[in-house]
Amino acid sequence: MAGKHSKSFFDFRKNVLVTEPKTKEQAPISLPFKIIIVFLIASLSLSLVFVGTEFLPSVLHKNMLRKAARTFSTNKSHVGLELLSQQNPDIKAWLKIDKTNINYAVCQNADDSYYTNHNQRGKKSRYGALTMSSNDDITRQNGDKNIVIFGNNMRDGSMFGSLKEYRKLDFYKQHPLIRLYHDDIWENYVVFSVMLLSASADDSAAFKPYKSHFADEQEFNDWYSETVARSLINTTVDIKHGDDLLTLVTVAKDFDGARLVVMAKKVDDWTAERIDVSNASVNAKIKYPQVWYTQRGLQYPY
């Protein structure tokens, strides 16, 4: 019936228009106006794409992180960490750098790459989560002297996105301490080296930054001297054979395969409260990875 009514209506209008005066023809839409319309539609589409792919995931991710931090901080630390580990048993610790964005759970999985694209709840996410090397034992019962934690360098500053601030001397002086919680213990670590390294093996034969076991004191001293030579900052913080170490790693943009590595040594509460890095300075002769020199057309001097 709807089709018949429609046909009758248009037939009726057709007959009436024969006796009605001609109406003025509608002016054609100008080309500039069409271009403006197309531009506005394209802009709206791009805005919707941005909201769907960038803004909304960022908001959801930050909300999840805030909830996790609230769960951890509003309970006793061991209770908060237990509640979070009930959501994901891969959560093993909590990492915090006061007055920075870094205040997150630390996960561990047999696949070291898993948390590069999964969040701390084990859900797919480009933000990933902080993840401890699968080779490490956070309790150090196996004699592990260097705990290594990886995190993505996100543009919004989340995860290890703010770790790059350690390249600045003033930031280092204001944030020399890193805190790590696990097994009902808060541990303090003072940063002793900030390095720009390469993920490739160009000069890693002489220096393995993530080394966790040392055969003897001489091997350790040789390794430590490399961390001093390569540090962007002369931190004035000394370490010795037998110290427990913590290493934070994220991607850098200086060259393909660049990594920013922040290393710290464990100190007791008394020392942490009295840390003085006021004499720290910029390293005037930094030893960079070989690729850094190659990209600048320079001969590798080491």
The domain limits of the chain are 90-295
Residue 203: pLDDT band (50, 70, 90) is low
**Averaged over 258-274, what is the pLDDT?**
96
Residue type for 134, please?
S
Whole-number Å distance between alpha carbons of 113 and 116: 5
- 6-40: per-residue pLDDT in tens? 443 333 334 444 444 555 556 666 666 666 766 66
Any bridge partners for residue 181, and if so which?
A: 94, 186
Which CATH code, of 2.40.340.10, 3.40.50.1860, 3.30.1330.60, 2.40.260.10, is assigned to 90-295? 2.40.260.10
Query: How does the average pLDDT of the chain come out, rounded?
Result: 86
Q: Looking at the whole model, is its pTM more than 0.75?
A: yes
Which residues touch 238 (CB under 8 Å, ≥6 apart)? 192
Q: What is the pLDDT of residue 262?
A: 98
pLDDT score of 65 more than 70: yes
- What is the three-class DSSP state of 148? strand
Which residues touch 247 (CB under 8 Å, ≥6 apart)? 146, 147, 148, 149, 209, 210, 261, 262, 263, 264
